[in-house]
Structures are given as C-alpha cells and as structure tokens.
Amino acid sequence: MSDYSSGYNFGGAAADSGSKKQEVMDKVRSELALANAQELINKINEKCYEKCVPKPGSSLSSGEQACLSKCMDRYMEAWNVVSRAYVSRIQRESANQSFGGSM
C-alpha cells in the first residue's frame, strides 16, 4: 500500500493538505453542477409547462408535446450560452487578479 492510500503521508502535511483541499474543491464543483442541473430542470418544467399546457388533462396532445420539446431545447440552449459566458467571465476575472490587478 502507498502512504496515501493507507492514510499516512510521510511527505509532510502540506502535500496532504493540498490533496484534501483538492478533494473538497472537486466535491463542491460536483455539488454545484448537480444544483445547476436541478435548477435547469425545475425552470424548464415551470416555464415550458406554463407556456405549452394551458389546460392540463390526463395526457398531452401532440401540439403540447411538440411545444414542450421546442421550449426545452430553446431553454437549454439559452442556459448553455449564459453558462459559457459566465464561466468565461469568471476565468477572465480570475486571470486578471492573478496578474496583479484588473484592467
């Protein structure tokens, strides 16, 4: 067994601290991704259902199904555009800060 898998780190506390920090960061990223996916699904359900199903019944008509499909596609596309822009902005701001200031 390696010293990492056995729970002992003979390389010092800094290496162990860095690996634990990375684990926590990965877990936070994973939880944020899950929360974002859940929010996307909830918003799609809310917005598209309101728009496409004016009179709920026991089943969806073909027009309602088509509307829901198109609405979901558009909503996810818009979500992705906004998400990419947000990530890009965060990366730019992070890069600016690491170079000693903002522009």
From first to last of its 103 residues, the chain has per-residue pLDDT tens of 444 444 444 455 555 677 888 899 989 989 988 998 898 899 999 999 999 999 888 999 999 999 999 999 999 899 899 989 998 998 898 888 876 554 4
Fold for 20-96, please state it. Helix Hairpins (1.10.287)
CA distance 56 to 35: 28
Domain ranges of the chain: 20-96
Tell me if 11 sits within 8 A of 3, measured CB to CB.
yes
pLDDT digits (tens, 9 = 90+) for 19-37: 888 899 989 989 988 998 8
Task: Annotate 13-52 with DSSP letters as a single string.
Answer: HHHHHHHHHHHHHHHHHHHHHHHHHHHHHHHHHHHHHHHH
